[in-house]
Structure 1
Amino acid sequence: MTRACSPSLRRAAALLALAATITAACLSIAAGWQRGGWPAERALWIVLGVVLVVAAHLLPALCRGARWPLRCVGAALWIGCTLSACYGHATFFLFAQQHAGELRAAPLPDASTLTTPTAGRSLTRVTAERAAVVAQLVTVKTAARQRVLSARLEALDAEAGEVRRQQVTDDRTAALEDRKQAEREAARADPATTRVAALLGVPVARVDLLSGLLFAAVLEGVACFCWLLAISPRATVTARDSLPEAVTAPVTVSVLAPVTHGTAPATATAEHVKDGRAEDAASVQAAIAAGLLRGTVTDIRRFLGCSQSRAAALRRQISEAETCGKV
């Protein structure tokens, strides 16, 4: 007969499942705290996330021995809970990545502080005024007026030169600002995520989202599988060992019945096989009567650990015995 998980394996699975559930609950708490605004909203987000996580982890194990209708409903609820929990975990991962990027970019100077406003008039206005002065200088005949216009022209030339130098300075400042902004963006991005995005040719934000969903799915899968191992209906004993002593006692007596000395070896072997079948049939009937087993071929096969054909033969034998008893 095939036995289920040993007690040591169940304990290890339970410890790993408990650790995974606690980790997932902490992720849901952090994600709910980051999502909500008011304290009541944060509390509701946290409670909702924890309930969905616990339900996603325990539903497969709790629905394991249920009938098919309940198992179908449980499977649908499990899918919904798992998707919701993964979405909450991905939210936490994205927020955590954002906060880590801000901490990495904090030592760098802010690019907005490098920009200095340009003072004075634009070069276009200065050039236009200079052209007007030159035109006046050509038409003026008096020496005094010519000297005034010449002085004004020199002042405009000096102002135009200053505007050009300021424009060069502004261009350098803008280039420095762009470089600092690129450095800050590079510091915010995770190095591994950046390299994976460059390798796959996809945006960094998409890689962040997919990696968060992948981590969440793996965590949920580990928790569900370990709880499925830890909460096993036949984890410590076999199905036959779970029968009461009053049920197994007649079977033990029938096994110890001696074989007649005058029987041939082939006849003795046949008697042993017959006794074994009778023992199995009696065990199955006793388990069905005690409410520990359903009378299906699948349950009989699991109960005895035998083949499909033998379980079907025992099922027919039990049905014939019940029919004869009713007649």
Structure 2
Amino acid sequence: MDALRKSGLCLAIAATGTAVCISVLAGWQRGGWLSERLLWVAIGAVLVVSAHLLPALCKASPVAVRWVGGILWAACMVATCYGHATFFLMAQQHAGEVRAAVVAVPASIVTTGRGLTEIADERAATVAELATFTAQRCIGGCATARVKRATLTAQLDALDVEATETKRREAAEDRLTVQQDHAVTLRDAMRADPVTTRVAAFVGIPESRVDLVSGLAFAGVLEGVACLLWFVAFQARDSGAAGAVTSAQTAPVTASNEAVTTRHAPVDELVTLQSEDPESEVTRLASEIAAGRVRATVADIRRYLGCSQAKAAALRRQFSESAVNQ
């Protein structure tokens, strides 16, 4: 019983300590200034201890006190579960940020250059100019016309190369954009708890609501277990104290009864002696003493008859009186 009581007390202390730590962290996260944080921490600790100990402390109180204690206990439980839910939601948010930080988002590449539209416009103008020079007849400056045509042709080739590089660059930028979008989506998915995501998809409700319900459920279970453990621990202690008091009160009474029984034992034996036929025992004792098998002493009479010392003394007295009368 002591081992079970100690185990229950240890579990109760562990549950209350855990709940107090949760309330401390929740209060610290809720406050802004240091004074506000300290006050939130103190309020949370008082509410947790009150919620855990009120049922055990009020069980032996009058009915009115128990009603008031029950109402206050319900209020403390609601406030404590609210604070614990705050802690669970903040902890889930921090864990999501840690998981999301593992996913690396590719950095954007800053590129310089013209776009395909601008290159296409310039190429179209160059092609038109080249066509114009090609269509003209060479009358006097044929060499100049050939140089101009070669220059325009080279410009077209350069524009084609630039357009190819621009397409390649834009394709790389598109791939980078897709990778960034994928990383952002993966980060958003990592921020949510995997179990919460699946439960929300299964029941068809938002993930934020699932987080809130799960936080309140965890808080309610922790507070309920702590209250039950403290109630059982106090009940075991009261039962042990009542048992010790009962044993202490019963032992003296038993001892006094034994003393009274021992003190009145000769009286009971004399009453038994008087109720029996004394003449037969005295006669038998006289014949044994005359035969020499028994001495006329209290010890021998007691040993011979197997009676008490008071009865042996009474029989010896009767034997002496009968011997004197004879």
Letter in 1 for 2:69: G
Given the alignment, which residue of 83, 89, 98 partners 1:94? Answer: 89
Distance change in 2, residues 1:68/1:156 (3 Å): farther
1:3 corresponds to: none
Given the alignment, which residue of 215, 218, 222 partners 2:221? Answer: 218
1:290 corresponds to: none
Question: What's the offset of the Cα at 1:237?
Answer: 6.6
Letter in 2 for 1:126: I
Given the alignment, which residue of 60, 74, 90 partners 2:69? Answer: 74
- Contact (CA 8 Å) 1:111, 1:180: kept in 2 or not? yes
Find out whether 1:209 has 2:203 as its counterpart.
no
Give the whole-Å Cα distance in 2 for the aligned partners of 1:18 and 1:92. Answer: 20
2:305 corresponds to: none
Question: What's the offset of the Cα at 1:219?
Answer: 0.3
2:105 corresponds to: 111
1:179 corresponds to: 182
Give the whole-Å Cα distance in 2 for the aligned partners of 1:97 and 1:12. Answer: 32
Letter in 1 for 2:111: T
- Contact (CA 8 Å) 1:102, 1:188: kept in 2 or not? yes
- 1:25-40 aligned at under 5 Å gives the runs 25-40=20-35
Letter in 2 for 1:24: A
Question: What's the offset of the Cα at 1:183?
Answer: 4.2
Give the whole-Å Cα distance in 2 for the aligned partners of 1:196 and 1:177. Answer: 28
- 1:247-262 aligned at under 5 Å gives the runs none
Give the whole-Å Cα distance in 2 for the aligned partners of 1:216 and 1:168. Answer: 52
Distance change in 2, residues 1:74/1:126 (3 Å): farther
Distance change in 2, residues 1:79/1:123 (3 Å): farther
TM-score, scaled relative to structure 2: 0.59
1:84 corresponds to: 79
Given the alignment, which residue of 89, 101, 122 partners 1:129? Answer: 122
- Contact (CA 8 Å) 1:104, 1:187: kept in 2 or not? yes
Letter in 2 for 1:120: G
Distance change in 2, residues 1:138/1:15 (3 Å): same
- Contact (CA 8 Å) 1:60, 1:228: kept in 2 or not? yes
Find out whether 1:48 has 2:43 as its counterpart.
yes
Distance change in 2, residues 1:75/1:125 (3 Å): farther
Give the whole-Å Cα distance in 1 for the aligned partners of 2:102 and 2:60. Answer: 58
Count the aligned residue pairs: 238
Give the whole-Å Cα distance in 2 for the aligned partners of 1:160 and 1:128. Answer: 11
Q: Which moved more, 1:159-168 or 1:173-182?
A: 173-182
- Contact (CA 8 Å) 2:27, 2:41: kept in 1 or not? yes
Name which one, 1 or 2, has greater alpha-carbon Rg: 2
Question: What's the offset of the Cα at 1:43?
Answer: 1.6
- Contact (CA 8 Å) 1:90, 1:209: kept in 2 or not? yes
Structure 1 gap segments, 5+ residues each: 1-5, 250-327
Q: When you count helix as a share of all residues, which structure comes out higher?
A: 2
Q: Which moved more, 1:183-192 or 1:121-130?
A: 183-192
Q: Deviations over 1:89-112 (max 9, x none)?
A: 22222333333344445444x204
Structure 2 gap segments, 5+ residues each: 137-143, 254-326
- Contact (CA 8 Å) 2:106, 2:176: kept in 1 or not? no
- Contact (CA 8 Å) 1:118, 1:170: kept in 2 or not? no
Find out whether 1:20 has 2:15 as its counterpart.
yes
Question: What's the offset of the Cα at 1:165?
Answer: 0.8
Aligned-pair Cα RMSD in Å: 3.6
Give the whole-Å Cα distance in 1 for the aligned partners of 2:216 and 2:22. Answer: 13
Distance change in 2, residues 1:119/1:71 (3 Å): farther
Give the whole-Å Cα distance in 1 for the aligned partners of 2:33 and 2:106. Answer: 32
Question: What's the offset of the Cα at 1:157?
Answer: 2.5
